[in-house]
Structure 1
Amino acid sequence: MWRKTTIMMLCYCVPYVLIIGSVGSGNIWLFWLFWFLMGCGMVGIGASIMHDANHGTYSPNEKVNTSIGHILEVLGGYSVNWKIQHNLLHHTYTNIDGLDEDIDTIVLLRLSPRQQWYWFHRYQYLYAWFFYMCMTLFWMTAKDYLQAIRYEQQKLLAKYKVSLKKAIIHITLYKIFYYAYVLVLPLLFSGQPWYFVLTGFVIMHLTAGFILACIFQPSHIMPDATFPEPIVENGKRLIKDSWAIHELTNTTNFAPNSRFFSWYIGGLNFQIEHHLFKNICHIHYKKLAPIVKEITEAFGLPYHVKPTFWEALVDHAKMLKMLGKNQTPCQS
């Protein structure tokens, strides 16, 4: 993990140093290439380092996990919000509409058969990719503020001993720091006009947003997923199946034999193992996978795997098209 951390940080920091060092000032395409590489580095850091750290699996030392987890703030995010959305909501209520915020997105996208259908959704399999690309741009600007307000209303910030005032102050300070180094310094020292710098910044985020969406969306928004409706008991919405079975029926692995791809995205192509064993570092997923598959087969439970990344993306696009139809069948 330390070796990977060093490599991923270099993938992000070296192009940045070249940018503010005016290395690409004489070649706009080289300049924009550096921003593209920074976007790829963002993905590597987020998927391979931050993700494990904020799950508490980067190191057996909790202080190390907490420290490394704050790398998200270096990338412009807010780790408290991330832990609530990802660890608490997504991992507990995967694919449950109204509880899993990963499928609760803008009205232009319908990511569950339980969600309201509009006529324009029939084209979402074509335009969804653009909004996927904008994911981190929205995250770096408005998302953290909106989430903090919503989580305060839902009394979720209190679980992490953070008040709304404290969260807003922290988010603002982190954003100021982020934009100071990622935009102001390149504007001052790159030797490029402001509009080229701004274009590079957008290229970085479009790259990161697209890659991240292509990693996470085929893991859950797939034709095999059940998207169950929760059971309501005493005013609380509960999962119909046992939690482990629910995760199996709503999660998909892909490209299990691609070593470099798995290394780069932090083992998130083994999404089943990650959801069942979120307290284990991703470097162990590949060895866990055959054990999990053997047990699921022994008990007649599903174990969804797509042989390649491309097949997973194609099936996700098919699911987007299915969800774009007015009456999308639900398997639950």
Structure 2
Amino acid sequence: MEKLKRPVYVKVGTDDFFKKMRLEVNETVLKNSSLYVLNVVKSLGLLAAFFLFYACILIFGNKTPLLFLFYILSGITMIVLFINAFHDAAHGALFKKPKHNEWFLYVLELFGSNHWLWMRRHIGLHHAYPNVPDWDVDIKQSKIIRIFPNSPLFNYHKYQHIYMWFIYPLYSLNWIYIRDFKDIFGKKDNYVKKIVEKIPRQEIYRLFAAKIINLIYLLFIPMMLLNQPWYTVLLAWLCLHMSGSALGVVALVSTHVDEDANFPGTDEEGNLSATWAMHQMIVTKDFSTESKLANFLYGGFTHHVAHHLFPGVGHTYYPYITPIIRRYAEEYNLPYTSYPFYHAVRSHFRMLKNKGVKENILMTGEI
């Protein structure tokens, strides 16, 4: 498959705000080693909590209410673990040594995903070109939903602000059992294959192995060991994915795709209109930054501007980096947005409603 010509950012000038910001962050916030320790302890604690809840499924699962309770707690913990620990490890930000981050990411395979493939999607495409049409595959995943202005508009999109309420809770099921296979074997609009020379054969084997192992221990072993009908365990397993996905989607929809979202395109030569750092400020937003609960659950997503500007830094540092970003935004007249999560979710579905119909040029001022 032919290589693509990647988008090109504007070159950094001599008075770039990010040079000064990065120097200040390095000299102040990043010297606090206790935040590194906190991140490691939190990540390992979440991993232990997940397997504790899984053990509770096997121990207490003969009682149906407890079966559903511990499956749901496992689903929530799975997503929180992914958003916090695995996300940081993928960016090399959890442990100081790269090999330790790599080892930890292999644990992700137990959850049915493939970390090699996900890193190509998330880091190679989303972080490299956030909100850029046809490049940010974390946003453009399916024709079922229309977000990018240049995406085809189908009649059913007029209802997307309604039906996506029912599809989003299936997000993790789609990721594990549909999207991964499309990225490995799909040929149409497969940007993962266009940015890598060749998908290693061992990653294909690992992809299948991860999904089989995940189904065995999360679904089939409880079916065999518990004195429960198979369909009851299956329903509880579905609740695991639906509860986790519902929690995780808040992070996904709150940081890049609201009704005021920007989707910078390239010119005919593939050039973008801003520097890399300015682009991150334009397309990324924070939510619920003052909430300790939100910061614990969503890690680097509540302070998402800090994450996009400093992706190699652990999320426990972000609450201390964000005030610096706000100060520079005010000083340099830079775009910066932070709002409560309920506003973010509401704004996202308003965006879906707006993107589901043809634009009215009388309202957009393009006449």
**TM-score between both structures, scaled by the size of structure 1:** 0.91
CA distance in 1, matches of 2:195, 2:93: 26
Instruction: Verify: 1:176 aligned to 2:212, yes or no.
Output: yes
State how far apart, in whole Å, the 2-side matches of 1:277 and 1:130 are: 34
CA contact (8 A) 2:58 2:226 kept: yes
Aligned residues: 321
Identity between Structure 1 and Structure 2 (%): 28
- The 1:289–1:15 alpha-carbon spacing in structure 2 relative to 1, beyond 3 Å, is same
CA distance in 2 between partners of 1:111 and 1:240 (Å): 21
Residue of structure 2 in register with 1:248 after alignment: 281
Q: Give me the whole-angstrom Cα distance separating, in 2, the residues matched to 1:280 and 1:176.
A: 33
- What is the match of residue 61 of structure 2? 24
Contact 1:43/1:265, CA 8 A, preserved across alignment: no
Determine the structure 1 residue equivalent to 2:231. 195
Paired position in structure 2 for 1:111 = 147
Q: Distance in 2 between matches of 1:20 and 1:58?
A: 31
Structure 1 Cα separation of the partners of residues 195 and 76 of structure 2: 35
Confirm or deny: 8 A CA contact 1:145 1:168 kept in the other structure.
Answer: no
Tell me by how many angstroms 1:151 deviates. 5.7
Deviation at 1:265, TM superposition (A): 1.5
> Structure 1 residues 251-260 or 315-324, which shifts more?
315-324
> Where in structure 2 are there 5+ consecutive unaligned residues?
1-38
Deviation track 1:118-143 (CA, whole Å, cap 9, x = no partner) reads: 22212211111222111110122122
Residue 307 of structure 2 corresponds to residue 271 of structure 1: no
Match of 1:9 in 2: 47
Distance 1:328 1:166 in 2: 50
Q: Deviations over 1:22-74 (max 9, x none)?
A: x1313x22211111101101111101110000110001111111111222111
Deviating runs (4+, > 4 A) in structure 1?
328-331
Higher RCO (CA 8 Å, separation ≥ 6 residues): 2
Structure-2 residue corresponding to 1:66: 102
Partner of 1:55: 91
Q: CA shift at 1:92, angstroms?
A: 1.1
Q: Deviations over 1:138-189 (max 9, x none)?
A: 122122122123467415164xxx52x3221111112122111111211111
Asked if the contact 1:322–1:328 (Cα under 8 Å) also holds between the matched residues in 2, the reply is: no
Q: Name the aligned partner's letter for residue 246 of structure 1.
A: H
Tell me, which stretches of 5 or more residues in structure 1 are unaligned?
none
Structure 1 residue identity aligned to 2:343: E
Say if 2:251 and 2:302, in contact at 8 Å, map to a contact too: yes
Change (3 A) 1:152 1:4: closer
Equivalent residues in 2 for 1:202-241 (5 A)?
Answer: 202-233=238-269, 237-241=270-274
What whole-Å deviation, never above 9, does each CA across 1:241-279 have from its counterpart, x for those lacking one? 211111111111010110122012113111111001101
Partners of 2:218 and 2:52 in 1: how far apart? 13
How far 1:328 moved relative to its partner? Answer: 7.0
Other-structure match for 1:257? 290
For 2:16, the equivalent position in structure 1 comes to none
Q: In 2, are the aligned partners of 1:129 and 1:210 still within 8 Å (CA)?
A: no
Deviation larger for 109-118 or 286-295: 109-118
Distance in 2, Cα, partners of 1:266 & 1:232: 38
Match of 2:353 in 1: 321
Q: How many Å separate the matches in 2 of 1:98 and 1:260? A: 34
SS at match of 1:173: helix
What TM-score does the superposition give when structure 2 sets the normalisation length? Answer: 0.83
Distance 2:124 2:300 in 1: 20
Corresponding residue for residue 128 of structure 1 = 164
CA–CA separation in structure 2 for the residues paired with 1:328 and 1:34: 49
Select the structure of larger CA radius of gyration.
2
Distance 1:275 1:13 in 2: 31
Check whether the contact 2:92–2:312 (CA below 8 A) recurs between aligned residues.
yes
